[in-house]
Structure 1
C-alpha cells in the first residue's frame, strides 16, 4: 500500500467543530477565587443557583416511566445477573435505602435488591441540559451553565424587589423548566454566588430558598460546615479545623488574617471572602473556557492481566487527550499516567513522561507513553498484579503558538491528523482509530456510549 504524499493533496477542509465534551466527565469547576472572575468594586449583587436534583436519575425516570422507583445511574447487570459498575448518581428513592454516589453497583444492590440500573448516557443528558439553559436564558441575560445540572443567573437588577417578588420569580422559573422538560429542580437566591449555591441545597428535592437579609443568612448559612464552601476540600478543611473552626459562622468571626496565614496573603483573603459571602463573582458564558489540564480516565468493566490490552486503553486515552488539545488549539510536552490494580486497596502506579516537544499529535505522545508504561506493566504482571483502570493527562498546557527551536512536528503527520479530525468530527469520533486500540479491554462500562 502506497502512503499518499499529504503535501501534494488539495488543501483539506476545516476540521469542523470539535466535540470537546464527548466521553468527558462534566465536573463542576471552581472559579470564584480569582481576580479576573470578580466584578470590580463592592456593589451589592444578587444571584440565582438552579440545581437539577438527581439530574441523570430524573432523566432516566422520565424516559423509562420509572417514577417512584429506586434508580441508579452508572450500573448494569451482566447476562448471568452479576451486578457491575459504579454509582454515578441515584434517585431519591434509592438514596432512601442508603445508596450513595461513588459506591459500587454491587453495594447499591445489597442495600436495595430491587434497584433499577441504567448506564450513563451523556448525550441524552446534554440534550436536556441545553433545553434547560434555553429556558433560563429567557429569565436573565447572564446565565452560566456551571455543569450539565447546575446553572447560575445574575439578577442584580432585581435587588430592590421584595422577598415575595423574588419567590414568585423563582417559582415561575421552576415551572418554566418543568413545562419544558418535566424535570424538577431546587433554586437558591442570595447575595453571593457561593451563598446562592448553599441556599439551593437547603431544601431538596424541588425546593426554593431566598436568603437576602443578613439575619436570615446568619440563621441558615452560618451554621453550615465550612467545607461545604467551594474551594475548601479535605486538606484545607483539616487545616481550618485544626484551628478550631468547623462552621461558616466561626470562620467569619475569626476573620481573614487566619486564612491568610494558612493559605497565603492573596488566596487566603479571597477564600475567606468567599466563605463570608463577600465574593462578587461573574456569571459567565463558559463556551470559550479552556482548562489548565486535559485528562482522560477509564475503569474497565473487569480486570485484565494482559499489558497489551492496557496499552490499547492508553491508545484510546491518547486519542481522546490529543483530540481535545487540538480542539482547544493547545499543546503540551509534559504528560502523566497511572494504572490502578484490581482490589479493594486501589493500589497501582503512576508515571510521568515527556513528548519530544510541544505537540498535540497522538503518535508523539503514545510512543513515549508506552515506552514508559509497558516495562512497568509487564513487571507488575510478573508480580501477579491485575489491572483495573488507567488515566492519562497533561501536567500543563502550552498557551502560546511559538515554534520550538529543537522540535518541529512533521507537516505530513499534522495533515494526516487534520484529515482524521475532519472525518471523526463529521461521521463520529470512532470513525478512524489507532490500530493498537483494538487490543483494548472488552466489555461494558457505566457509560452507555462506550459499551459494546
Structure 2
C-alpha cells in the first residue's frame, strides 16, 4: 500500500486572529508597493446580537458571559454587551458583578461558541461570493481585498458595501458596519466610525485627515498600554500627530528597527498589509507563541491550576511543532482574583531548545509550582494565567549537551497525527484534565 501523507498541522485553528500579529509585520506585507483598496466588516456586539435574535430579547440590556450562582451571587466576565447594556456603562472585559451593579436588571447569558462559530463560517462563505481573497480575522470581523473596485465611483464602491451588508442580513438577520480604505489598518479603523450598521469610505487624503487623524493613537492595533505611554511621552496623542509631526526614526528608537518602522507605517496608513486568507506554509511567528486564560472564578485548588498550566504547555508546544520551531526560554504570569493585587511574573529555561511538552511542563513547575502552592495555602485565589515563549530557535540545529528522548518524541508525533486528523479534544494528557471549574471561558485563547 502507498504511504499515506500525514495530516497537516493546524497551528492557527481556534486562535483569535487579532493575536496573530500585534501590527502588520513584514511577512504580512505585499512585496510590491501600489495603491490598494481594503474592506473591513465588523459585526455589532456579535454574541449579544445573536442572543437577542435567537431569544427575541431586542431592546433589553444583555450581557454574554455572566450568570448567578444558586446563592444569587453574580459571577463571570462580560464577553460582550448589547448596546442597551452599554448605555449603562457596561463594557467588554469587566466582571459580571460590576455590570450588575451598573444595571441590576441586566440579562445574563452564557457563551454558546458552537452557534457563534456556525454563523461565522456561514458569513465567511457569503464573503467569498463577493471577492476571491477574504480573511476571517476573528469570529466577527472580516477583511476583503477589493482592488477590483479601484478607479470606480464612490457610489459604486458604496453600493458594493451596501449589497454585502444586505446579503449578510438576509442570511443571518444580523447587522455590521463596513469600513473601506487604502490601507488595512485604516479600513479597520473606519469600520468603527459608524456602528452598528453604517458604511465609512476613506478614499482620499482629505478623508484620512478629517476622519482618521483625529482618532487617539491607541486605537491602532499594536499600540498597547505601554507602547501608548511611550508614544504619549513623545507628544503624540492622535494619529494625526504622528502623521504630521512624527518620524520613523523616533519609533525605531522607541521600539526597535523592525517593529518601530512597521508601527510607524501602520499608524500613518502606509502599511501594505495582505489579506491573509490562509497562513502560508512557510510562515513562522516572529516573537513566538503564547496562551492566556481567565477563569470564571478564582481558585485555590493547586492541582486544577497546575492542570490549566498543563493545557497552556500543550497548546504552545503543539504550535511550536507545527511551525517547526523550538524554544528554551519561557515567561508567564498568574493573576489574583483581587484586582488591586499585582500578579506574579516569572521566567524559566528548559535544558535545551525543545518543543516537547514534558520538558517544558517540568521546568515550568519547578519554577512556578512553589509560588502557586504558597498562594493557595494562604487562601489567595488565582484568577488567570499566561504563558509564552521568550526566545525561539528556528534553526533546528542539534543540541550539543541534551537530546529529546526518542520515545517521548515518537509519542508526541503520534498524538499530533490524531489531533491533526480529528481535532485537539480527541486526545490529551491526563494532567490537562484538571481544570478550574466554571461556566464561561471566553478569554481562553492562544495567541
Indicate how the Cα distance of structure 1 residues 248 and 93 shifts in structure 2: closer, same or farther if over 3 A, else same: same
**In the alignment, what sits opposite 2:123?**
132
> For residue 54 of structure 1, what is the aligned residue in structure 2?
45
* C-alpha separation in 1, matches of 2:12 and 2:346: 26
Distance in 1 separating the partners of 2:316 and 2:257: 35
Shift of 1:371: 1.9
Structure 1 residues 113-146: Cα deviation after superposition (integer angstroms, max 9, x where no partner): 2322233333433322222222112222222222
Q: 2:415 aligns with which of 408, 414, 420?
A: 420
Residue 190 of structure 2, aligned match among 184, 189, 199? 199
Structure 2, unmatched stretches of 5+, are none
Which of 278, 283, 290 is equivalent to 1:295? 290
Distance in 1 separating the partners of 2:24 and 2:377 = 47
Cα distance per residue 1:218-277 (max 9 Å; x no partner): 222222222222333333333333343322223222142554554456654543333332
- The count of residues paired between Structure 1 and Structure 2 equals 440
Matches of residues 30-429 of structure 1 in structure 2 within 5 Å?
30=21, 33-40=24-31, 42-256=33-247, 258-260=250-252, 262-263=254-255, 267-288=259-280, 290-291=284-285, 292-424=287-419, 429=424
State the Cα distance separating 1:86 from its structure 2 match. Answer: 1.0
Q: In 2, Cα distance between the equivalents of 1:112 and 1:368?
A: 46
Whether the 8 Å CA contact 1:333–1:359 is kept in 2: the answer is yes
Per-residue deviation at 1:90?
A: 1.3
SS class of match (1:199): helix
Cα distance, 1:36–1:418 mapped onto 2, change above 3 Å = closer
What is the TM-score normalised by the length of structure 1? 0.86
Aligned-pair Cα RMSD in Å: 3.1
Are 1:119 and 1:446, in contact at CA under 8 Å, matched by a contact in 2? no
**Pair 79,190 (structure 1): closer, same or farther in 2 beyond 3 Å:** same
**Which shows bigger deviation, 240-249 or 170-179?**
240-249
| CA distance 1:224–1:296, shift in 2 (3 Å) | closer
Paired residues of 2:110 and 2:439 also in contact (CA < 8 A): no
Would the aligned equivalents of 2:77 and 2:296 in 1 still touch at CA under 8 Å? Answer: no
CA gap of 1:305–1:119, structure 2 versus 1, over 3 A, is: same
Deviation at 1:97, TM superposition (A): 1.9
The answer to whether the 8 A contact 1:29-1:146 is kept is no
Question: How much does 1:426 deviate?
Answer: 5.5
Cα pair distance change 1:334/1:400, threshold 3 Å: same
Q: Given that residues 12 and 419 in structure 1 are in contact (C-alpha distance below 8 angstroms), is that contact kept between their aligned partners in structure 2?
A: no
- 1:26–1:63: structure 2 CA closer, same or farther, 3 Å change rule? farther
Helix, strand or coil for the counterpart of 2:50? helix
Distance 2:272 2:444 in 1: 39
Query: Which SS does the other structure have where 1:286 is aligned?
Result: coil
In our comparison, the structure showing a higher alpha carbon Rg is: 1
TM-score by length of 2: 0.87
Distance (whole Å) between structure 2 residues aligned to residue 297 and residue 67 of structure 1? 33
Q: Could you say if the C-alpha distance between residues 363 and 248 of structure 1 is closer, same or farther in structure 2, counting changes exceeding 3 Å?
A: closer
CA distance in 2, matches of 1:57, 1:33: 29
1:207-228 Cα deviation digits (max 9, x unpaired): 1011213323322222222222
Contact 2:329 2:348 in 1 (8 A): yes
Q: Could you tell me whether the CA contact under 8 Å between 2:313 and 2:361 is conserved in 1? A: yes
**Distance in 1, Cα, partners of 2:398 & 2:8:** 25
